[in-house]
Chain A
Amino acid sequence: MPQPQLATNVRKVTDDIAVLDIEGELTAFADKTLTDAYTLATDDGARVIILNFDNLQYMNSSGIGLLVTLLVRVNRTKQRLLTCGLSDHYKTIFELTRLNEAIGTYETEADAIQAAQS
């Protein structure tokens, strides 16, 4: 299987909120990288996970599938999943795949944190 072209960084911004910086390509091969980052954030006590897509270079349909399965995990543990920094193109993809109906999308990280705290 090809190597994932995705790097993640987990930042805890409050006791309850963690930001996952997504950098590179979100494809099927990024499954483990994304899951490991989510697990790290969750183990650290995060109740809200914000995916920061500021440095997302590319996402295909398998990447969207990963977000769906991540959302299921988040819902199962009564956490919340939000996103920020999506380009207009990927906002359109969220609309096409109807992910926007289940995942809150915000322009900036500050907006997403504010929404998480409200």
Chain B
Amino acid sequence: MADGTQQPPQTSNGWAQPVPKVKVSHVPEGAVNLNVDGRQLSGPLQGFGPMWQKTYSIVLPPGTATPEEAIRVWKENFTDFWLPGDHFYGPLSGLNPGDVALINSKESVPGGLLKLSTGVMVVYADDTSFTLMTTQGHPFSGWVTFSSYEAEGGTRVQAQVLMRANDPMWEFGMRFLGGHRTEDRIWQHTLSSVAAHFGVAAPISTEIVCVDKKIQWGRAGNIWQNAGIRSGMYMTVSPFLRFRSAVRGSRRA
């Protein structure tokens, strides 16, 4: 896997620089770069559905890892800790503010009917936490903060998602087609992988809070950027484009 970006825009105190549009400067081999380049970042305020805060955590026994160690290992192995069968194309150097990562996922689409292409940007990173913010069209609009701190009983390691489904279609999928369960599975698997890395089988605690029940109907238009629809269209059309390109190539030869 290769770098997803070059010279990420970075500012002080661990934050990335604001970007009007996300720029993917390098696409790793095997990755599909769709629905990321040229898109805006999209936070929990820009989404459509109810706002959820989901916290998945484990406690590593004392002496297993310091918070700094846990986060360093998580950053360095983020790709390997990802759900099998899905791909998180992050930079080799770990995750630094301004880095853009591509996500090619079958799990995120209910029924695994197509491979979703989307992405995230690292908006914040320090020694004990880092945050990924989604791009327009992603199933959810928001961010995920991965953090670790000393707690009672050891070192707590957690992923906290603050999100709204991005548009009416993703909201339907979240509510009725198991989208929320899929998300739970993704982060529970990731945390299990972190624990396994340290040779621990820690139970995973899941806390889900509906922060805002309100649907933001004014954001229904986000559906035009829906990465699932666009990935589906790409999958449908791309064989014809490849065929046309091959025919043109053979004519030139």
How big is the B interface, by class? 35 or more
When C-beta atoms are compared, the residue in chain A nearest to B133 turns out to be A97
A65 at the binding interface (Cβ < 8 Å): yes
- Shortest CB-to-CB span from A73 to chain B, Å, is 9
Beta-carbon contacts under 8 Å, B82-132 to A? 123-124, 126, 129, 131
Please indicate the chain A residues that have their CB under 8 angstroms from the CB of B143 in the complex. Answer: 61, 65, 97
Q: Is B69 an interface residue (CB 8 A)?
A: no
Question: Closest residue to A62 on the B side, CB-wise?
Answer: B145
Cα distance, A75 to B160, chains bound together (Å):
23
Question: Is B66's CB within 8 Å of the partner chain A?
Answer: no
Of B14, B45, B151, which contacts A98 at CB under 8 A? B45
Q: Which residue of B lies closest to A102 (CB)?
A: B45
A99 neighbours in B (Cβ, 8 Å)? 43, 45
- The docked-state distance in angstroms from the alpha carbon of A2 to that of B128 is 13
Q: Which residues of B contact A72 (CB under 8 A)?
A: 51, 211-212
Scoring A93, A96, A102 by chain B CB atoms within 10 A of each residue's CB, the highest score goes to: A96
Q: Of residues 207 to 241 in B, which have CB atoms within 8 Å of A's CB atoms?
A: 211-212, 214
A98 touching B145 in the complex, CB below 8 Å, given contacts A60-B124, A72-B51, A89-B11: no
Q: Are A65 and B11 in contact (CB under 8 A)?
A: no
* Number of A residues with CB within 8 Å of any CB on chain B: 24
Q: Is A1 located at the chain interface by the 8 A CB criterion?
A: yes
Q: Does residue A68 face the partner (Cβ distance < 8 Å to B)?
A: yes
Interface of A is mostly: helix
Please indicate the chain B residues that have their CB under 8 angstroms from the CB of A58 in the complex.
13
Q: Is the CB of B212 within 8 A of A96?
A: no
- CB of B24 closer than 8 Å to a CB of A: no
A65–B160 CB distance below 8 A: yes
**A96 contacts across to B, CB distance below 8 A:** 15-19, 41, 123
Q: Determine which of B42, B45, B46, B123 lies in contact with A71 in the assembled complex, contact meaning CB atoms within 8 Å.
A: B45
Find out whether the CB atom of B15 lies under 8 angstroms from the CB atom of A93.
Answer: yes
Q: Please report the C-alpha to C-alpha distance between residue A89 and residue B13 in the assembled complex, in whole angstroms.
A: 9
Bound complex: CA of A2 vs CA of B143, how far in Å? 23
B15 touches A92 (CB 8 A): yes
Q: How far is the CA of A71 from the CA of B13 in the complex (A)?
A: 24
Sampled A-B contacts (24; CB under 8 Å) = A1-B149, A2-B149, A2-B150, A58-B13, A61-B124, A65-B143, A65-B145, A68-B45, A69-B211, A76-B214, A89-B13, A89-B15, A92-B11, A92-B15, A96-B16, A96-B41, A97-B41, A97-B123, A97-B143, A98-B42, A98-B45, A99-B45, A101-B45, A101-B46
Not counting A28-B145, A65-B145, A97-B43, a sample of 4 additional A-B residue pairs whose C-beta atoms are within 8 angstroms of each other reads A61-B123, A72-B51, A92-B18, A96-B18
Instruction: Please list the residues of chain B having a beta carbon within 8 angstroms of any beta carbon in chain A.
Output: 11-19, 41-46, 51, 53, 123-124, 126, 129, 131, 133, 143, 145, 147, 149-151, 156, 160, 162, 211-212, 214
